[in-house]
Amino acid sequence: MRRREFIAALGGAAAFAFAARADNPDRVRRVGVLIYGAEDDPVTETRVDGLRQGLQKLDWVEGRNLQFDFRFGAADPRRIRSYAKELVSLAPDVIVTGAAPATHAVLEETQTIPVVFVEVTNEVGYGLSGKLARPDANSTGITNLYLAIGARWLELLKEAAPRLSRIALLFNPEFDARAYLAAIETAAGAYRLKTTRAPVHDAHDIEHAIVAVAAEPNAGLLIVPPTPAFSEIRLIFKLANQYRLPAIYPTRGFVAEGGLMAYGAVSADLFAQAATYVDRILHGAKPSELAVGFPTKFDLVVNLKAARAIGLEIPPKLLARAAEVIE
């Protein structure tokens, strides 16, 4: 057989094998999952539950026709990169990634394995997909639109604490938060708020930043995604109470654990929505055929216990708009 004919035959055989693999209903499909947070974080648990339940509703049953390979980054860039390599080496049918850092790490390792990203902001700006209507190459998923609601965070915090004049923007500098910061800073003038960037690597940085912002009156906190590790978020709760600082978070789970208020897309819903992408890919669809999706629900959640701890009375009109009020 001539070399050209051999290569053509080999390519045809590979294509046939791939098609047979995709169409075999009895084969256990393998789904890799790389989540930005730690495994025992309450927020991470809601995300995992959303994905699992979403796939179960689509008749993907773990242990019968589905195998998960979970990895959890614990907000550690080195761990995230290591787990990305590990998951790609397992050659799963599809990889689900939670948040931009995990998504970037996986896409640096593979241009062939389909990737479904979740809770990724400004995916076009970050180069995760070329066009919203038609994602490029091997990735698609669900955006959380957080850039568009940066102004909303400021508005809600100002409404909760009308005397606010300064807000510290706490963010993890190990990951790219420039787009978030720029959007928030642009909106701050409309609310007569002065913003200060507060990069925090660890607990020491968090304490130093919060002590500094608390040194002047009428200050508050905005926790910018991708957020610090959950253990450090709990430190923020403690220091916010100690220094009587109102704070807003991007995810409900933080408020359920002790934060004052949050506004954002519902993480469990986004991961359940991502399950439909996984399902379609497992049935043979290509990521380039699946348009990037958007959240369908944004919730305001307020923790009255946290409000009482800092001596803040939340206006009734704001409470009336909340999807959930934690007593």
pLDDT (tens, 9 = 90+) of the chain, 327 residues, equals 443 343 334 334 334 444 444 455 568 999 999 999 999 999 999 999 999 999 999 999 999 999 999 999 999 999 999 999 999 999 999 999 999 899 999 999 999 999 999 998 754 444 454 444 445 579 999 987 677 788 999 999 999 999 999 999 999 998 888 888 999 999 999 999 999 999 999 999 999 999 999 999 999 999 998 888 888 999 999 999 999 999 999 989 899 999 999 999 888 999 999 999 999 999 999 998 998 888 888 999 999 999 999 999 999 999 999 999 999
Tell me which amino acid residue 119 is.
E
In the block, residue with structure tokens 């974080």: 41
Amino acid (one-letter) located at 72: F
Query: For residue 21, what pLDDT is reported?
Result: 46
Quote the distance between the C-alpha of residue 213 and its chain's center. Answer: 27
- What domains are defined for the chain? 3-143+267-296 (3.40.50.2300), 147-265+299-326 (3.40.50.2300)
CA distances from 239 to 161, 206, 229, 258, 263 (A): 17, 9, 16, 12, 21
Give pLDDT, residue 135: 53
State the pLDDT at residue 197.
Answer: 96
178: burial class by Cβ within 10 Å (0-12, 13-18, 19+)? exposed
Q: What is the predicted pLDDT for the residue at 30?
A: 98
Collect all residues with Cβ–Cβ distance below 8 Å to 204 and sequence separation of at least 6. none
Position 178 scores a pLDDT of: 86
